[in-house]
Amino acid sequence: MEESKESGGDTFYDRVYDAERPELFFKSTPGRVVGTGGKVRIRKDSAWDVPEPELTLFINAQGKIQGYTVGNDMSSRSIEGENPLYLPQAKVYDGATAIGPCLYVPGKALPAETGIKLEIYRNGTRAFEGSTNITQIKRRFEELAEFLFREMSFPHGCYLMTGTGIVPPNSFTLQSGDETRITIDGIGTLINVVA
């Protein structure tokens, strides 16, 4: 909501968050995704860029949640903030997605107290740290999966990022060489360097 105030975003995002239908959007094809240790990117035409740490669901071809991993939904907030219709440009570009370090298949739902932590290091010094837990996620995971599969098919399954609850302050933007570390309890740590 903060990034879109100038484009009338308060009412726009208020309507999205309170609606029956969740906000779901395309993020990436496999070739644009990097794993742990890979380099994520920031857009050259954006002045405000942040990682968004997200619990990521693996959903099988039948629409059932089978496992979990850690996701980094890189976002060009200056582009999205100009106009909500620019969301695809702010979210979908080479190196804008990272997942890993593994696919965790516990056979049952994650505990409600599962924590998510973001750390950003610049020149070896921690520049930002924040944490939350999965109880702060507004939508039920099964609800997100059901909406995604209503008119879409995924013959090999898909990954669905569940949204972020940790956002660096408005004065912070990623720089080349920064290292992001996203840790989710029980799954592990996704580590990436900004190209």
pLDDT digits (tens, 9 = 90+) for 146-184: 999 999 999 999 999 999 999 899 999 999 999 999 999
Determine the structural domain holding residue 114 and report its residue range: 2-194
Q: Is the pLDDT of residue 136 over 60?
A: yes
The closest alpha carbon to 80, from 70, 90, 72, 92, belongs to: 90
Question: What pLDDT score does 2 carry?
Answer: 54
- Give me the DSSP letters along the chain: -GGGGGGTHHHHHHHHHHSSS--------GGGEE-TTSEE---TT-S-EE--EEEEEEE-TTS-EEEEEEEEE-EEHHHHHH-GGGHHHHH-STT-EEEEEEEE--SSPPPTT-EEEEEEEETTEEEEEEEEEGGG-SS-HHHHHHHHTSS---TT-EEEE---S----TT----TT-EEEEEETTTEEEEEEE-
**Phi, psi (degrees; rounded to nearest 5) at 126:** -70, 120
pLDDT (average), residues 108-132: 97
Whether 13 shows a pLDDT value over 70: the answer reads no
With 90 as the cut, is the pLDDT of residue 72 above it?
yes
Domain count, the chain: 1
pLDDT digits (tens, 9 = 90+) for 23-56: 899 999 999 999 999 999 999 999 999 999 999 9
Task: Please state the rounded mean pLDDT for residues 11-15.
Answer: 65
Q: What is the structure's pLDDT at 5?
A: 53
CA angle 132, 174, 52 (to 5 degrees): 30
Write down the mean pLDDT value for the chain: 93
pTM of the model: 0.92
User: Over pLDDT 90: what percentage of the chain?
Assistant: 86
CATH number of the domain within which 167 lies: 3.90.850.10
Lowest-confidence segment of 54-58, 60-64, 82-86, 141-145 by average pLDDT: 82-86
